Amino acid sequence: MLEKDATWVAIGFILFILLLIYFKIPNQIIKILDDRSKKIKEELDEAKRLREAAQTILSEFQKKNTEAEQTAKTIIDNAKKLAKNYEKDAKDKFDQNVVRKKKLLDEKLNRLENDVINQIKDNITDIVLETVKNSVKGNNIKPKVSQEIIDQGIEQIGKK
């Protein structure tokens, strides 16, 4: 039996296993595997904690983004309302300006018209007076009568 190779392989294998047990190699392997398992578990726990923190931060940013969008929309709406109010105010002021300028122009036109009419009346009066004086001098009308004619002419011009 000792002459067969398989017997020596079996004896060598048994001695190898006994040596492993004697030097507590299986316990060391188990300890290494346990340590590795703990390390992997800690890494998984850390990854889970980081994922939860990232999820929390993401939800906060989404909430802030939603609030920012609402704030931006409110600001835009307020700006549009303000622009419409400014537009309305500007239009009202423009209309008031136009009305005021038209009124001023009408008043100026009436004043100029009155000035021109008064100028024409003055010119007519001067012409009439000059004509009456010339006709009085040429016809030898008495001064009292000529004064009456002048007064009547002035009175008629004043009525117009």
Domain residue limits, the chain: 5-113
Average pLDDT over the chain, rounded to an integer: 87
Angle subtended at Cα 111 by Cα 105 and Cα 116, rounded to the nearest 5 degrees = 125
Q: How far apart are CA 30 and CA 119, in angstroms?
A: 129
The torsion defined by the Cα of 68, 77, 80 and 92, in degrees rounded to 10, comes to -140
Q: What is the pLDDT of residue 4?
A: 83
Q: Which pLDDT score is estimated for 122?
A: 82
The reported pTM is 0.43
Could you read off the pLDDT of 111-125 as tens digits, one per residue? 999 999 888 888 887
